[in-house]
Amino acid sequence: MNEVRHEPALHVQATGNGPRLVMLHGWALNSHVWDDVVEPLARSFTVVRIDLPGHGASPWPPTFDDLESLARALAPHVGDRSIVLGWSIGAQAAMRLALDRPDAVRAMVLVAATPRFLANAEWPYGVEPAVLEEFASRLHDDHEGTVRDFLALQVRGDERAMETLRLLRRRVLAAGATHRAALAAGLAVLRTTDLREEIAQIAVPALVISGEHDRLTPPQASRELAAGLKRARYAQIERAAHAPFISHRDSFLREVEQFLARLPGTAARA
C-alpha cells in the first residue's frame, strides 16, 4: 500500500477585498517586509502575502531547489487570475509562474527584478559570482551574520540607508530566523536562474520597478527585463536602492496604484 504524504501548507495572510493581489518577498525575508504598503493597497484589493518555503512562518518542507520547484510550491496559494507583485527572488518566481501557469497570473509588478542575478560576459548587469559564493560558504558557520550582511548590501546607495536597514532587520526578526536549508536553496535559485530567453513568452501586463542605486539588481538589469517583456513599463525610484517599497513608500505606491488602475476591473477605491 502506497502512503500518501501531504506537505504542510505555506503561511498565507489575506487582507482587504477586491481583485487578488499576491505579494512574494525576497531572499531571507518574510511577508512582514510589505507591512508599510498593505493597508493602502487593501482598500482596492485582496492583498495576499505568502511566506516562501522555510521563510517567516512557512514550514520546510515544502522544499525547493530551483526556480521551477519554488514556483510549484507557491502555485496552489496564488490562485487563478491573480496580480502578482514580486520582489527580487519573488519577482523571478512571479515570472516563472507566468510562464508555467499562465492561468494563474493576469498581471505582474516586478520590483528589483532581473532575468539573471549573476553577471557573466554576456550579462554585465548582475552580481559577481564570487559575491554569491561567499554568502553560500558562510551560511553554515555564520547564518545570522550572512543575513545581516546581505541586508546591508540591499540598502547600499539608498539616501535613507540606515533607516531602511533598521526596518529590514526588524522585519526579519518579526517572524524568526529563516531555515538554513531554505537560505541555501534560495542562493541556488539566484545562482542558476536565467530567464532571458523565456521572458518574451510572457504576455501579461507588467510594471518593472527599480531603485536608482540598487547594487544587487542594477537599474539596467530591470530596464533590459522590461524591454524583453511583451507588455511592460519601466519605472525608476530616484535615490532608492533594493527595497524602494520601504525607503520610498509613497513613490512606490504611486507607481503601483497607477499601473493597477489601468487594469480592467481594478478601479481604485477612495
Check if 149 is active-site.
no
DSSP string, 168-201: HHHHHHHT-PPPHHHHHHHHHHHHH-B-TTTGGG
Options 31, 44, 88, 222, the catalytic residue: 88
**Is 69 in the active site?**
no
25, 55, 213, 242: the active-site residue: 242
CA atoms of 147 and 140, how far apart (whole Å): 12
Residue 139 amino acid letter:
L
Strand partners, 123: 120
Does residue 268 contact residue 261 with C-beta atoms inside 8 Å?
A: yes
Check the CA dihedral 140-162-24-199 and report its sign.
negative
- The whole-angstrom separation of Cα 132 and Cα 118 is 8
For the chain, the straight-line distance linking the first and the last C-alpha, in angstroms and rounded, comes to 57
Q: Could you give the CA distance from residue 207 to residue 85 in angstroms, rounded to a whole number?
A: 9
Does the annotation count 214 as an active-site position? yes
Catalytic member of 158, 213, 214, 251: 214
Q: Which of the residues are catalytic?
A: 88, 214, 242
